[in-house]
């Protein structure tokens, strides 16, 4: 895993801190701009855990905001980072399952949720919107034939 130099690292930390404060102050679009700016500091290929985390939290926030097109961009960045790092395969699969659920692709979502559950048990459903666990346990409520 690569590390940024101290100046770049400090800039990333400052941008992420600003983004968090802005998001908490309901200035979400500005928050997303700061996260994107922080993400772009990392050189390609993105082999940085922190770049993965920025992509993950940006994805999560866009999902909460129901901005699925932007969520997909950050999901792809998560996957790209994970392909370089190989440390969060089930985390990516869970994110894909959530995205598929949110856009109504329930069959694909259920396949991903099952894969994650087989590997990690139910821990990925903890601290998540309960609709995902409900869907996993009761897919017939969502999947209409």
58-101 confidence digits (pLDDT tens): 999 999 999 999 999 999 999 999 998 887 889 999 999 999 99
Which residue pairs, CB below 8 angstroms and at least 24 apart, start in 72-80? 72/99, 75/99, 77/39, 77/46, 77/51, 78/52, 80/46
128-145 confidence digits (pLDDT tens): 999 999 999 999 999 986
How much is the pTM?
0.92
Q: What is the DSSP letter of 124?
A: G
User: Is the CB of residue 95 less than 8 Å from the CB of residue 78?
Assistant: yes
């Amino acid at each position: 895993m690569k590390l940024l130099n101290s100046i770049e690292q400090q800039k990333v930390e400052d941008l992420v801190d600003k983004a968090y404060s802005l998001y908490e102050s309901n200035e979400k679009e500005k928050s997303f701009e700061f996260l994107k700016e922080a993400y772009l500091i990392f050189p390609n290929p993105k082999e940085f855990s922190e770049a993965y985390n920025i992509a993950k939290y940006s994805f999560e926030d866009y999902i909460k905001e129901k901005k699925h097109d932007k969520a997909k961009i950050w999901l792809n960045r998560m996957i790209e980072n994970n392909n370089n790092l190989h440390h969060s395969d089930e985390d990516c699969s869970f994110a894909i399952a959530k995205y598929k659920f949110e856009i109504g692709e329930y069959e694909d979502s259920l396949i991903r949720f099952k894969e994650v559950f087989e590997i990690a048990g139910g821990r990925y459903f903890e601290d998540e919107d309960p609709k995902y666990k409900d869907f996993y346990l009761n897919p017939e409520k969502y999947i209409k034939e």
